[in-house]
Structure 1
Amino acid sequence: MRLHRLEITAFGPYRNRQVVDFDALGGDGLFLLHGDTGAGKTTLLDAVAFALYGSVPGARNDAKRLRCDTADDDVATKVVLELTVQGQRLLLERSPEYQRPKKRGEGFTTQQAKASLTWLDGVPTGQPPEGLTRIDEVGRTVQRLLGMSVEQFFQVVMLPQGEFARFLRADTAEREKLLERLFGTQRFADVETWFVQRRRERGREVEAQTLEVRDLLARVAQVSASEPGEDEQGWLEEVEKRAVREWEGAQAEHSRLRRERDAAETALAERRELADRVRRVRQANATLAELEERKPQHDAWRAEREAAQRAVPVLAARQAVQRAEQARERAGADVVAAAQRCSDVDAEAPLDELRALAGRDRESAGALAQLVPEAQQQESDRERLAGLAERIAADERTEAELAQRQQALPERITAARQQVDEAKHAEVRLETVVSRVEELSALLQAARELPRHEREFADATTRAQQAVDAHQQARDRLQDLRARRLAGMAAELARRLAPGQPCPVCGSAEHPAPAEPVDDQVSADDEDAAQQEEQRAQARREQAATEAQRARQARDRLAERLGEHTEQGLATELAELTAERDALRRTAGELRQRTELLAELEASTERISAQLTDVRSRLAASRSERTSLETTVDERELRLREARGDHPSIAARREHLLGAAANLDRLVDARIARDDADGRLAEQRQALRDAAAEAGFESVEAALAAERGEARLAELADALAEAEQRAAGARDALASPELFGVDADAEVGLEQATEAATLAREAAERAAAMAHRAEQRHRDIAQLAERLRAAWARLGPVLAEFAELEALADVVNGRGQNARRMSLRSYVLAARLEEVAVAATRRLQRMSDGRYSFVHSDAAGARGTRGGLGLDVLDDYSGKVRPAKTLSGGESFLASLSLALGLADVVAAETGGALLDTLFIDEGFGTLDADTLDLVMDTLDELRAGGRVVGLVSHVEEMRQRIGVRLRVRKSREGSTLELRTA
């Protein structure tokens, strides 16, 4: 990294624009930023850091006050830095966030931070040619190019005042924090954390399996009712054996008590059988005695049943009387109903008189029969008159409609001729419009394809540019390899030399000092491969250029074809023409229909005239027929009105007469039926009295009183049958061989046998329960023992693995067998610090004239604290190592500067970042005497080797004079000094 130019505006103490030309200042490799205290020397370094990373070193970054307080409101704060990193020259511009007065109104508004990166000598591959404008993208790009973080940059490039003096005197913890930021040892901290987390996870697994073993032991102890001793496996075997013995003993006891239970239950069954026979004898005797006591009741039930059976014929006769009475009532009701229909005659008149009235009505109805056809014809003629009226009205409406159509026909024919002409014109116009629509469609398609061709042209141009860059890179690599091969050609020839063989260059057979191959020797194969790659890159370049040319030609053809047309205009015009085309197509398609309509209208003139003549002739005939028919209907109506009387029609009067005759006939029939019903009722009543006497009853009422319902008869039958069955059953039981000779008064003694059987059964049940519990306990102990042994088998390897992991985690984290109490991260930092001490010792010995050297210590700290980051000083005058805190002020500056330079070398080598061509050292030179300052300046001269530029920051006047003198001595010219004054 080399700085070229710095521009700051309204930044820190600088209210106006200031420019620092580092190319002019660092032309001799050494320059001084000189000024009074507070003049703004460190601010320039802050500006460089802010331009690169957007932050400033140390505590100044926490203040967030980078804008100059005295700057004008319209002057924006910004920092512009031009530099070269890894062969890329770029321009960085940044503005911090700050508060500025509002342009309108009162108060302040926040000016947001901004950043930009611009490439000055070619855009790298993969980067946008316009540069970067996002703050995060600029930050990532700068850090990638420099290869280090902001903390590493502040320690490697800008050696801040006082920082390394504090680092020199710091304790282990503070020194560890700084080294962690510089060397990025987070991955080793992640390893430590991984071991801790892994140990915690495995510990949880071990704890879970241990808890499982303990739980199984507790369950075995609970089941066996015994506690485990020190020998848990032996205790488990003893528990299993004891469970087997208890189970076998319980089974034997259960078998013995079960036999005793069976014997007691057999004796109880025999006693129960004897008791049952005695009970049955007693029950049979009691049943016979009870039936004997209830014999009068049973005799009364039998008499009641017999009387009910004798009354059955009487009941049947009574039902016949009831049916005759019902028939008499129905016949009387029929007479009343028939009399009501014949209300104009006496219902009780003689039957012959009623028959005569019916005959007279029938004769009158017969006389009206001949007038019924005339009445029907009268109705037909009336309907015909109504039809004629409707037909005359319809023909009148048709006549009016035809006359109206005949009047409107000329106008419709004229309109139809105009529509036919319009369709013919549309057919002619359609061809022109269709052609124009096709033309506009093609242009619109071209307009829509133009953006795609422009994108393809842009992509092809980009690919062509990338191919040019790739070809250029391949060509540069080929030239570089050729140059390196020419440089190492002597070594390549030296490999072909053999003792005693002449040299192909000088011819000598002796080869005292053949050239050695360089570290990165280039072979002919490497050069051939690079040449082939360059040729392939050239072919890709030519192909990309051809594709770009084709894409440009395609785009140009489309653009030329479109001319001034736009996609929107073409779309609008096409939509209008498409609508017109569709309308013309519809109109032209109706030409045939419109022509046929015109012909139809022209032909309808004569047809309507003929139809009008026919309608008028038919209308005259209908009117004449209606007049004649009306005369006939009126004459017939006079005769029919006299014949129907008060009735609506002849048929109605005839129906009335016939109905009256029928009603009289029904009245006669009803009176005859009523007389017959009276005779039958008297006969059935006499038959009822005869039936009661034949059944042995004194009267009909006594016979009816003996009636019993089916339920009562069934009840009597069931009760008598039950009594007979009980008596027969009791006699059969007493006569059976099983109960023969059984004494009803004998005592059985069933309670003692029952008690003995109950005791034996309970004892057997308890023994069965104990045997079941012993078996269950034996089975549970066997299952738990199997699970416990499996858990022991799983726990053993897990415990061994956890012990190994725990010991390794302790060592990695600085505990356990780690005697130095150093964690892995501390160990890595100690190795880096040891490298820093070696690099810093070379500088310190030169600046201290060989007196002081750094000594790294990895011993543990006091009271067991972590070690590995100790840093002391070896005093060559005394030969003893002493703490760095005992150095004087000037000696501390030398040690701090040496440590800073050594740390910068190690960090730069560690990060593998860009070559650091610019270095700044801020303050501290005022504490040195003249001789020591010369030694320091000699050391700084060495830093300029290889083109490095060293910038010193100091307010000491002697520094300016010494730098000028040293440069005049070396190059006979004045040194570069930047004078700073307070803004």
Structure 2
Amino acid sequence: MMKPIKLELKNFGPFINETIHFDELKKEQLFLISGRTGSGKTILFDAMTYALYGEASTKDRDKNALRSQFADENEVSSVTFTFTINNATYIAERQLPYKKPGNKNMTDTKFQLHEITDDKKLLAAKPAEGKQAVQNIMKVDANQFRQILILPQGEFKRFLVSSSKEKQPVLRTLFGTDRFKSLEDKLMTETKALEASVHSMEERLYLLLEQVKTEKRFDGTISQQFASYMDEVKRQQHALEDVQVRLSRKLEELSLERQSLEQAIQVNDWQRQIKEAEARQAELIESDAAIQNAKDEVSQLLVLDYLKEKKEALDNLKDKRTVWQNDFNTLKDKQKHEDHQLSILKESMTALDQEYDSIEEKKHFRDNHRHYIVEEEWHRLEEKITESINELQAHRQKLEQLEPVDTGKLLNELNEIMTEREQLSQQLQVKQITITQLENERRDSDKQNEQVNIRSTYEEELQELNQKKTEPLLDAVVKLRQHLHTGDHCPVCMQQISVVPDIPDRETLEEHQKIEHRKIKLESLIEQLQHYQIRDTTEVVKQLKTLNVELSELTAKKERSDSHYASLSERYQKELNNQSIYQSQQQLYENQQRDLQMSEQLYEQFKKRTGYQTYQQFEEAWQQCHQSIQDHEENVNDLKSQILDKERLLSKLESELSHLTVLLSDSEAEYESLALKLQSDLTKNKLTEDSIEQNVDISRLETLQQKIEDYQTAVQEVQFKLDTLNQNMAGRTSTDIQPIEESIKNLENAVNMLEAEKHTLLIRVGDNEELLKQIDALLTEYEAKIAKQKEALELSRLINGKNPLNLTLENYVLTYYLEQTLILSNLRLNDMTHHRYQFRRKKEKSLGYSGLDIEIFDLYSNQVRDISTLSGGETFLASLALALGLSDYVTQLSGGISLESVFIDEGFGTLDNETLETAIESLIELERSGKMVGLISHVEMLKSRIPAILHVESTGYLSSTRFSIK
């Protein structure tokens, strides 16, 4: 599944700031986590589990209690776990929540998951995102992680004794049987959906049948009711056709009667309209004389209004000419005044032009010396020279106070001391290497002697076992006793048997078997230790003692040399600093002297070029020159602007005068023409100018005109109407319409009754036909789904466990995987229990999930036992064997999960030495297969058998770790 690389703990349990590098193990993949009780060994498993899942390695452990009680209130508690899985490397970092003093709520939990295989890539930044991301990588959740990767103290047998229902999710994850579960769920869902759909269709069909509009109701099945309603709708269709025929006939009769009525009404109306038109025509003839008088009055008013408009136009033109003439005279006077002003401005410009040469000379001076004004350094040049003289005097005084230093003598002495220190260091290194080699030689000799002592212990135990009075042919006696009877001949001596020996009791047999197994084991161990011999370490110890004395003397001498070197180095550094200060001051003095010379040269150059002895005199002269140039340029620009304005104004006046001249010329001819025309019209109408001065009554004129127009329109309309009506009445007389109206009323009543009947039948037949079409289509689909439902229901029941074995499809597959796992687990369990126990899958059916329960077969009693009857040590061995068997089989399948590590917390203390040895051999074999195995135990034998140990050392409150590899 995964292999740890690095575990970093901060304020986590008893660890304040601890980092464990698992790559220090190198090739040693089996390691023991050793330490005193309460030192924090299990906390390491908690840290890995918490980093990944946010939970402790044991369900019952409170994850909120993992924060160190010695952590500062403002410091966070966190765990950072670096691990590899499927050739990819990840870092999981999680902070623990805790309550700060004065706060009511816990701090937020923080989590980040990165992949760092090639480049660092963020996979999750929040705990909610991290849960799914970790599960996608690990392929197991927290509970499954505890059961197959970490076997926590008190929980190592949880998976072993769990029920089929509890094992199912773990095995599903390991062997990827989700597809079978998905198939079961999908088929179950489809079956339920089909059942619901069929039920829904039945309800809908019955509802649709009830909606058929008919006075009759039918019973029976859906198909029977459908056939009856089909016949009923056909009867309704025939009744509708009969009503439509009768309605058509009545409508024809009604149409003819209505035409007769309309014709009679029309003729009677025409007769009435002729009488009204003739009366109106007589009224119009009587008002003809009044209309003629109105026409004459209108003609007179129109002539007066026309002449009045002519007279007003003539007067308006006369007034305009007077205004134009006045404007012309005013503009002419203004033109003369502006011409005079322009002449004055031009004379002023001529006077300014005569100053050109003087201004150009001033510009030359200003521009050539502008840089003295613009550049800042010329302003402060005099001040800078004064400051430089003062600073130069100060530097000269400081130099007189300092003296140059010679550091060559001190440097030679330092080099001599350094050479002496290097020689002493080399001598110390040689001594230390020699001591290390001798100590290694002594440790090797001690190990050799320890192994020889262990071999002697094994030989003594073997000798004691050989001296016990046991029956050497006990097995042979048992076999012979099973086949011999009194009176038979012995197959060895051929004599007749008078007495058959008794078969030893079971306890004696078991004791004999244990002794024989132990003898074989001891002989194997003695043979493995046979090559070890006793070594004498007296000379080595003597040499080590001498070397340690010499090492102490050299160390003291080296410390004196170091102290002398440090003192000289400090003195040499101080002299170097003094020399550096003198050189720096000398450099500053020379630089200041050069700056002063350069400033003085620049100042002499300035006086020579400007002709002024001080900068202030030059600046005042330059500013006066610059101001006079500015004043001259402003005057010139102002005069140019005024001249241009005057010229533009004169041009505008000239244009306006020209325009007024044209207007006066054109209006004079127009005025004479209008006067002649007016006089002619007055003469023609026998009027004078005084007679047209009066205002014309426009409202009176409009009233008369409207009256004449209305009269003419009315005469034309009456005549047109009389002509039209006389044409329509040609050869016709008025008719009595009452009998016709009564006949129409009777026919309309009959038609309304037939239409109501038709409408009712039409809606009923249409709705019923549409309903029957829906019912027919739905009935076809319903019958097809009934057949499909029957097949799907039977299949769903079978694969969801409704079968003789009470096995779902997924559990059926998982039973195969479990049996293969148990075959591999039994190989280890046989060795661990001296061929006494074997795993077997329980075959009996249960009320719920079945097929994944495990039981134990005891070869000694030749009977099946429940897991719960095993002792604590036997349960631990069984759990370990099952976990390793799972690891082996999952690896063989090479699926998405690779069980590359296993961690075990306690359980070894329940084993006797022989069983413990067997368990260790199994773990060593597991290590050889490439898996990492981590153990927590207080058993001393494990410390001597396992070369790699992670020591968890405690000061009583806080803990630290270190790896040691033998």
**TM class, shorter-length:** 0.3 to 0.5
Largest Rg, 1 or 2: 1
TM-score, normalising length: structure 2? 0.44
TM-score, normalising length: structure 1: 0.44
